[in-house]
Copies of this chain bind each other. A is one copy, B any other.
Amino acid sequence: MKTLTKYHYDYPRPALTTDCVIFGFDGGELKLLLIEREKKPFKNRWALPGGFVFIEEATEDCAKRILLEKAGIKNVFIEQLYTFSDVKRDPRERIISVSYFALVNKHQYELIAGRDTIKAEWFELSKLPKLAFDHRKIVKTAIQRLRGKVSYQPIGFELLSEKFTLTQLQALYESILEIDIDKRNFRKKILGMGLLQPLEEKEKNVAHKAARYYSFDKKAYKELTQKGFHFEL
């Protein structure tokens, strides 16, 4: 690769990081995975997992690397959120953050987070601690994005296991959107879309009628989308 100055740009350059807002859900309230900072600035404060972007690394790859290195998470839904570039957002120097948000099946990663040397913890959205840098602002942006998107793109499923009951799905939507949903209307609508595959399997060892499991039918979604269908809850 050629040198930079050859191409009329030898100004000082901002540093680049990515920060990841990681959402998880376990049936109750929506949660966020945070890690405790080990170094200054904001030593011992909770923060979004993040890190510097390498010179030959796309920001999305960087986000995936950080997800893996700092939270032990891989192969999950990830989407670019926003690029935060306030000049004073980092007290050290000019650092721009290209932020991402991830949706993970929390159960699958419960054991991994908090392992090793990195202190990681799930926090309910309503009980977030004080955060480092401008991470509060980043989180707020991510929540808004998630709320906005969840009604017109089937991304909620990313937060559930492969198999889920309709009650779990409804609880997820209620939790994200912070609204109450009528059970019958919810089922009518979501089943009417033809995106859920009913499975033979049912809940076990529950002290009430066992609920049927469903899975999200990606193939059907793809086909319907090509025919002009658009998801809307």
Binding site for B on A (CB under 8 A): 1-4, 6-7, 9, 11-16, 52-60, 80, 82-83, 85-87, 92-94, 96, 98
- Cα separation A96 to B98 with both chains bound (whole Å): 11
- Identical copies of this chain, number: 2
| Chain B residues within an 8 Å CB radius of A12 | 55
11 extra interface residue pairs, beta carbon distance < 8 Å, beyond A9-B15, A56-B94: A3-B93, A4-B92, A11-B55, A13-B14, A13-B16, A14-B16, A14-B53, A16-B96, A58-B86, A83-B83, A85-B98
- Cα separation A87 to B93 with both chains bound (whole Å): 24
Tell me if A59 and B87 are in contact (CB < 8 A).
no
Contact of A93 among B1, B80, B83, B93 (CB under 8 A): B1
Tell me if A58 and B80 are in contact (CB < 8 A).
no
- Cα separation A161 to B148 with both chains bound (whole Å): 29
| Chain B residues within an 8 Å CB radius of A2 | 92-93
Tell me if B94 and A55 are in contact (CB < 8 A).
yes
Q: Most chain-B CB neighbours within 10 Å: which of A2, A56, A86, A94? A: A94
- Cα separation A11 to B12 with both chains bound (whole Å): 13
- Cα separation A11 to B83 with both chains bound (whole Å): 20
- Given A1-B93, A94-B1, A96-B59, check contact A15 B15 (CB 8 Å): no
Contact of A9 among B52, B83, B86, B96 (CB under 8 A): B52
